[in-house]
Amino acid sequence: MLQVMNAENMKLCVRLLTALGLLSHPWLSQAQELSGGALVKALRQGGLVLVMRHASSPRDVPGGPAANADNLKRERQLDEKGRASAAAMGKALRALKIPVGDVYTSPAYRAIETARLAELPNPKIKSELGDGGQSMQGVTEAQSAWLQKRVGERARGGNSIFVTHMPNMTAAFPRWSAGLADGETLVFGSDGKTGTTAVARIKIEEWPGLAAL
């Protein structure tokens, strides 16, 4: 009897919240985030926008023999963990048969390296995704507006992927970016107008697990 009463009370609560327009409240929307098989299904259907922080990269710029041969400007580059996790993410995307459409990356070497090791198709370099070489001080309001606008456009030909930096993500999406780890991805759904919302967060180490579902 108690279970029946709880179910009825829940229905009444949902009706009331709907009437009051409160179903979009943050604590309710968090309960509707995708995970597991539902997340994989949504990604396979395409039309989502993935914004990811580049994979693990030491703060120090490599010197001498430690620098990659193609790191001509001696920028920060991925460490062993970053290289392995980026490659594993790309392998999982292919194993899951997740369609990838447009790919955009920051001009920073560590972001380009992330896209390359993940074997993301035809990445396009966008200055708006960069940090100006100044880390937390290098992101402008114009860059945040650009990223917000692009994420609000429904992806075509698969899922769009943006490879950028923590400051860019927290500036553009403060509501969803707290505590982002290296390589972590925010997955956005959009109605092609203004109805953009984060539907999932995927740590870069979690991609192989999704492929095993």
Q: Specify the DSSP class assigned to residue 187.
A: E
Mean pLDDT of 136-159: 87
Percent of the chain with pLDDT over 70: 80
CA distance 151 to 160: 9
Confidence of residue 7 (pLDDT cuts 50, 70, 90): very low
Predicted pLDDT of residue 22: 38
Mean pLDDT of 25-52: 78
Q: Is residue 138 within 8 Å of 167, Cβ to Cβ? A: yes
- At 82, the amino acid letter reads G
Q: Which of 91-100, 165-174, 186-195 has the weakest average pLDDT?
A: 186-195
Q: Choose which CATH entry (2.40.30.10, 3.40.50.1240, 3.30.1330.50, 3.90.1150.10) describes domain 33-211.
A: 3.40.50.1240
Predicted pLDDT of residue 23: 38
What is the chain's length? 213
172-208 residue pLDDT tens:
999 999 999 999 999 999 655 556 889 999 999 999 9
CA distance 175 to 20: 23
The residue extents of the domains of the chain are 1-30, 33-211
Predicted pLDDT of residue 155: 77
CA distance 81 to 184: 13
Greater model confidence, 131 or 119: 119
Q: Which of 52-66, 76-90, 181-195 has the weakest average pLDDT?
A: 181-195
Q: What is the 3-state secondary structure (H, E, C) of 147-177?
A: HHHHHCCCCCCCEEEEEECHHHHHHHCCCCC
Predicted pLDDT of residue 100: 97
Cβ-based burial of 210 (10 A; exposed 0-12, middle 13-18, buried ≥19): buried
